[in-house]
Amino acid sequence: MDKRLLAILRCPVTHKELSLARSGTLKEVNEAIDAGRLSNRDGRVLDARLAEALVTDDGKMLYPVTDGIPVLLEGESVSMEQLG
C-alpha cells in the first residue's frame, strides 16, 4: 500500500489514524476467520482470509484491504474485541 495514501487515511467511525496490520495480528485474525468466529460490523461472518488489513492506532478496529484497496466502510469494519 502506498505510504502517502496511508498517511492521510482515517477510520471513518472514530477518525483515528490507520496503519497496516502486523503479521502477528493478521495471523490471529485469519485463525479466527478459519474458525468461523469473526464477523464484521454488519454481522456477516468472514469466510475469506485477509492478506492485508488496516488497524486503528488504538487497535480496536480493523478494515480489510482487498486487491490493494482499503475497504473503509463502517459495515465492513471488524471489532478486534472479538479476538479477546
Q: What is the CATH number of the domain that holds 54?
A: 2.20.25.10
Q: Is 52 helix (H, G, I), strand (E, B) or coil?
A: strand
| DSSP annotation of 44 | P
Alpha carbons 67 and 44: distance in angstroms, whole number: 20
Q: What is the pLDDT of residue 4?
A: 87
Query: Domain tally for the chain?
Result: 1
Residues of the domain holding 26: 3-83
Q: What is the pLDDT of residue 35?
A: 96
Q: pLDDT class for 2, splitting at 50, 70, 90? A: confident
| DSSP annotation of 68 | T
- Mean pLDDT of the region 37-51: 97
Closest CA to 52 of 20, 74, 10, 8: 20
Q: Are 63 and 11 in contact (CB under 8 A)?
A: yes
Helices (H), the chain: 3-8, 23-34
